[in-house]
């Protein structure tokens, strides 16, 4: 009896692990915010539900809040708002930047306390992890 039960348990565990991986990799994730760059919209320790489908299908819009890998440190994630899409012209002071194809312009809501595209420049869409719900 036990000999038949062990393979079923192992098979169930492997199936559960595969489903969990696919949900995480292709559908979404849960992330915790840190830092003041998105205040007053988001605060440190706010929890966000992240969906990845919009990024994969390139269905992002201005105003979407996204999680991206940091261009200077890919081990770190940043949470910012999309301010510009490919082809848009962004004016920051006296500088005008045209966003190239495959890139977005990200800025924090707390402009005085945010390191964002004003420092990094346009962000490659390949660095985007997902859109916050």
H/E/C letters for each residue in 44-106?
A: CCCEEEEECHHHHCCCCCCCCEEEEECCCCCCCEEEEEEEECCCCEEEECCEEEECCCCEEEE
Query: Using CB atoms within 10 A of its CB, is residue 112 exposed (0-12), middle (13-18) or buried (19+)?
Result: exposed
Q: What pLDDT score was predicted for residue 110?
A: 94
Query: Which of 8, 68, 80, 117 is an active site residue?
Result: 80
Contacts of 12 (CB under 8 A, 6+ apart): none
The answer to whether residue 68 is catalytic is no
Structure tokens at 67: 């999680």
The answer to whether residue 62 is catalytic is no
Domains along the sequence of the chain with CATH:
1-132 (2.10.109.10)
Q: What pLDDT score was predicted for residue 60?
A: 92
Q: What pLDDT score was predicted for residue 1?
A: 61
Contacts of 31 (CB under 8 A, 6+ apart): 47, 48, 50, 67, 77, 79, 132
Query: Which of 4, 8, 34, 37 is an active site residue?
Result: 37
Q: What pLDDT score was predicted for residue 94?
A: 86
Q: What pLDDT score was predicted for residue 113?
A: 93
Mean pLDDT by 10 residues, the chain (133 residues): 74 81 75 92 92 86 95 92 96 89 95 92 94 91
- pTM here is 0.81
């Amino acid at each position: 009896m036990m000999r038949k039960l062990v393979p079923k348990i192992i098979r169930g565990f492997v199936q559960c692990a595969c489903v969990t991986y696919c949900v995480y990799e292709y559908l979404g994730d849960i992330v915790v915010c840190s830092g003041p760059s998105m205040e007053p919209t988001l605060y440190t320790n706010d929890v966000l539900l992240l969906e990845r489908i919009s990024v994969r299908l390139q269905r992002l819009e201005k105003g979407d809040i996204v999680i991206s890998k940091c261009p200077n440190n890919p081990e770190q994630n940043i949470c910012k708002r999309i301010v510009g899409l490919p082809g848009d012209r962004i004016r920051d002071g006296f500088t005008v930047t045209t966003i190239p194809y495959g890139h977005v312009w990200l800025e924090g809501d707390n402009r005085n306390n945010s390191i964002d595209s004003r420092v990094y420049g346009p962000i490659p869409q390949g660095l985007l992890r997902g859109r916050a719900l």
